[in-house]
Chains A and B, each alone.
Chain A
Amino acid sequence: MELIIDPLISEVPKSKVKNPSRSLKTHIIVEKLNLFIQGNHILRDINMSIPDKSITCIIGPSGCGKTTLLRAFNRLHDDSVDVKITGKLFVDGEDIYAKDTEVTHIRKKMGLLAQRPCPLPMSILENVVYGPRIHGVRGKRKLYEIARNQLLAVGLWNEVKDRLKSPASRLSLGQQQRLCLARGLAVEPEIILGDEATSALDPISSKTIEELFLSIKEKYTVVLVTHTLRQAKRIADYVAFMYLGELVEFGTSDQIFNHPKHQLTREYISGGFS
């Protein structure tokens, strides 16, 4: 099958890129992003603007570059050799790939939820307060308050309040993922990135995580990579469909799932290929 991909639908007007601000309700702007790994062209000319305080799901078949794109938001490619990135990526109007942008400052703005939960080798309490602590928050009571609030926010407090000092690794996978979310929220980010954050979890735990995403989108911009179309349908406000490293279509959940403009999108969401 020969694939012809049309010019992108989600182009950002130039005037907005120069001075994007919160009032425009776009939080992340991707401009002509190209990414090469060992000379292979993985992301091709991605242009998109991700709206503020909503859930954006990136969907697409395996190997289409969803995760690579998500990791680019967080500059997690920095440590990999043989990765070359061109183009621009603005968060709050700040080009995160500009030379004088500090990487820790960028990462502090985003919480990342990986596919498999990865607690740090510390106690439950220390896990949550690790982020605030490295960013300079001191004082036992203050840190405890932070931990309590974040654990309450992810609905873990009642389950762990009596064993805050016990190792985080003793929690169940679902609890660990919620702990990781609490840990991410504790650094007071603006954006939550999720890389198939529910795929390693049992149905009940993934439902809890999904509900959490829905509840935090009032305050945060949530960007999720997901394999399950049903999940995207359930929780997404906006959907980006990627195929072979290109962004094929970007729109509201209703646009993508009910009135897709592009042939490829139509085929993908009707299960034509995966």
Chain B
Amino acid sequence: MKRLEELFFKCLMIGSTVVLLSVLLYILFVVIEKGLPSLSWEMISQIPGGGFYLGKEGGILNAIIGSLYLIFFSVIISLMISVPVVMYLNFTLRRKSRFAAFARLTFDVLFGIPSIVYGAFGFTVMIFFGLQASLLGGIIAVSMLIIPVMIRSIDEVAVLISPDLVEATKSLGATNYETLKVIIRQLLPGISTAVLLSIGRGIGDAATVLFTAGYTDSIPTSLTQPTATLPLAIFFQLSSPIDEVQNRAYSAALVLTIIILILSFSARYFSRRLSKNKI
């Protein structure tokens, strides 16, 4: 009986892993199969020409650059907000503070809010301030989307930091600020995982940027100009009736996937290097 039980759970574990992996591989396969034939140098090095959306010449450089701009600035802004928040929750407030518990609950709720809501909220805020759809609007909306992700994932590592480390540092005569710097060193691998997760969530999201960043065929040169993004490039092209344009949507998806893969591998690499000194 025990052996049957063991066998059952073993099969269950292997089964679910295989199912998950095959779904993932199938998605990748479809994207590559449909996207690769229309992926060309022209596709990633040019902005859309006239008639691009009818299947004529041009590329999606505007969306690639737009997405990179957007995620880069959003991640920086979110880091600047999330790290101090986590420090405050864990090292200034008491461990069992009610306020901290309430704050964590709030971030969990924010985590679960659908991205379209952030997009819509960002849009109303922009209308209030009289802003047009722009790179800036997109950055703000995407930051709002990824801040809860970042806070929660850094927080999860921060709660594991032992009070001994804080005491060891302080007993050497370190000020609070110097102590926080030591803590951040210990947190670096966690922070890099958080950045990775946020990039994954932020760069692939279409709903947040739909109203806030807008769409344009040119590469933005200032924060107040609208910008194209890869998820929207996929969305618009996929809804076209023309086959060729649809295939270009898949190649845009392939580009997006490759960008995410490159970013995750580099994040993993840095994370491993950073965790070298972790205790």
- By a beta-carbon cutoff of 8 Å, the part of chain A in contact with chain B is 74, 76, 79, 81, 104-105, 107-108, 110-112, 114, 116, 118-123, 130-131, 134-135, 167-169, 180, 183-184, 187
Contact of B167 with A105 in the complex, beta carbons under 8 Å:
no
By a CB distance below 8 angstroms, the chain B residues around A134 are 172-175, 178
Contact of B278 with A121 in the complex, beta carbons under 8 Å:
yes
Q: Does B168 interact with chain A (Cβ within 8 Å)? A: yes
Contact of A118 with B168 in the complex, beta carbons under 8 Å:
yes
Residues of B in contact (CB 8 Å), total 21
Partner of A120, one of B94, B175, B279: B279
Contact of B278 with A76 in the complex, beta carbons under 8 Å:
no
- Closest-CB distance, A175 to chain B (whole angstroms): 13
By a CB distance below 8 angstroms, the chain A residues around B178 are 134
- Closest-CB distance, A115 to chain B (whole angstroms): 8
- Closest-CB distance, B273 to chain A (whole angstroms): 12
By a CB distance below 8 angstroms, the chain B residues around A118 are 162, 164-165, 167-168, 279
Q: Does B264 interact with chain A (Cβ within 8 Å)? A: no
- By a beta-carbon cutoff of 8 Å, the part of chain B in contact with chain A is 94, 162, 164-165, 167-175, 178, 182, 185-186, 276-279
Contact of B168 with A120 in the complex, beta carbons under 8 Å:
yes
5 of the cross-chain contacts (CB-CB < 8 Å) are A111-B172, A121-B185, A134-B174, A134-B175, A168-B277
Contact of B168 with A112 in the complex, beta carbons under 8 Å:
yes
Partner of B172, one of A81, A122, A184: A184
Q: Contacts A81-B94, A114-B164, A118-B165; is A123 near B277 (CB within 8 Å)? A: yes
Q: Contacts A81-B94, A167-B276, A167-B277; is A107 near B168 (CB within 8 Å)? A: no
Instruction: List 19 additional contacts besides A118-B164, A135-B173; criterion CB under 8 Å.
Output: A74-B171, A105-B173, A107-B171, A114-B168, A118-B165, A120-B182, A121-B182, A121-B185, A121-B277, A121-B279, A122-B185, A122-B277, A130-B169, A130-B172, A131-B172, A131-B173, A167-B279, A169-B279, A183-B172
By a CB distance below 8 angstroms, the chain A residues around B279 are 118-121, 167-169
Most A CB contacts (10 A, CB to CB) among B167, B169, B178, B277 go to B277
Contact of B278 with A104 in the complex, beta carbons under 8 Å:
no
Within the assembled complex, what's the spacing in Å between the Cα atoms of A74 and B174? 13
- Closest-CB distance, A74 to chain B (whole angstroms): 6
By a CB distance below 8 angstroms, the chain B residues around A111 are 171-172
By a CB distance below 8 angstroms, the chain B residues around A183 are 172
